[in-house]
Amino acid sequence: MKLLVCGGAGFIGSHFARLRAREYDDEVVVLDKLTYAGREENLRDLADAPGFRFVHGAIEDADAVADAVAGCEAIVNFAAETHVDRSISGPEVFLTTQMNGTWTLLEAARERELRYVQVSTDEVYGSIDEGSFTETSPLDPSSPYSATKAGADLLVSSYTHTYGLPTAICRGSNNYGPFQYPEKLIPLMVLNALHGDPLPVYGDGMNVRNWLYVEDFGRAIGTVLERGATGEAYNVGGPGECPNIEVVRRILELTGRDESLIEYVTDRPGHDRRYSLASDKVRTLGWEPRMRFEDGLQRTVDWYRENSWWWEPIRSGEYRAYYERHYGRALRD
């Protein structure tokens, strides 16, 4: 299949592009704006994959989309502004990418009658104290990030109801693994621990997330692309439900550091307490997670330890300035 993977230079999109090109022999075209979170380095091993093409452009730019989508049979959209903290300090770009961008892609799919898969998040359901969300749970997002993701999901559904476009939505829980930008919890804590920087933990550290190894999410998205029913959403939850402070403790163990590095910081405004997804529906399509959290975390820590070529330029650039602004302290060199 020839696939347009939007946002494929980011964390999850690059794993998906690799998986589809290497294991499924798909021809992959990546369209990516290369924001601070998008890096061509994430795709460098795909340069020689048959049919691989990279197009530098925004999903809200109809001309760039028309160029990239030529000859493709399906669009899988990962492109998004993805960091909750950044959505609190500067929501505007979240609207542009999530709403205008998704709409532009849907129009391109409609004109060409293409299959369309939207990559979404458990955060659209909001927080849940007990039990798990199913696909029929109401959307109740709490941050500008999750609200714009929910808006995009609704727009996608409307294109099936109104125009009969063959869409599906895949809502993943918190992903982790190699190539994740260090503003997110696990790479933030791993890199700070490796450098001996304090590990900033929000609030009491008891926010619970459902950890999903990035390759497992990529496989689930492929399953939904191939076998998901038109107009349906599929939840994809990981096997590892864990409070943040427990994740941090495990990372300290894996990096040989002690708990004196933990620093509790003022909580994120409106911080959702717990996310949990029921994944029964996607399992009926034949998907199940392969990676246990303990193994995936070990593999992730090892990858960051061994791949300083990847994170060194990040720690000396935009991220360093962002970190100082956000946490009010500098990172070690």
Ligand X SMILES: NC(=O)c1ccc[n+]([C@@H]2O[C@H](COP(=O)([O-])OP(=O)(O)OC[C@H]3O[C@@H](n4cnc5c(N)ncnc54)[C@H](O)[C@@H]3O)[C@@H](O)[C@H]2O)c1
Cβ atoms < 10 Å from Cβ of 122: 26
Q: Packing angle between helix 185-195 and helix 308-315, nearest 10 degrees?
A: 90
197 has catalytic annotation: no
Catalytic option among 32, 122, 215, 241: 122
Convert residues 71-110 into a mask of x (bound to ligand X by CB under 6 A) and - (unbound). Answer: -------xxxxx--------------x---x---------
Contact stretch for ligand X (CB under 6 A) within 52-60, 108-116, 249-257, 302-310: 52-60
The alpha carbon dihedral of 144, 177, 318, 321 has a sign of positive
Distance, in Å, from the CA atom of 89 to the CA atom of 95, rounded to the nearest integer, reads 13
Between 35 and 244, name the residue whose CB sits nearer to ligand X: 35
**Binding flag, residue 300, ligand X (CB under 6 A):** no
In sequence order, the β-bridge partners of residue 31 are 6, 55
* Residue 187 is a binding residue for ligand X (CB under 6 A): no
- Smaller CB distance to ligand X: residue 261 or 279? 279
How long a stretch of residues is the chain? 333
Position 238 contacts ligand X (CB under 6 A): no
Is residue 11 a contact point for ligand X (CB under 6 A)? yes
37 counts as binding ligand X under rule CB under 6 A: yes
What does the angle CA 310 – CA 52 – CA 110 come to, to the nearest 5 degrees? 110
**What is the C-alpha separation between 294 and 248, in angstroms, rounded?**
13
Tell me the residue number closest to ligand X, measured at CB: 10
Say if CB 54 and CB 30 are below 8 A apart.
Answer: yes
| Interface with ligand X (CB under 6 A) | 6-7, 9-13, 32-35, 37-38, 58-60, 78-82, 97, 101, 119, 121, 149, 172, 174-175, 181
List the catalytic residues. 122-123, 145
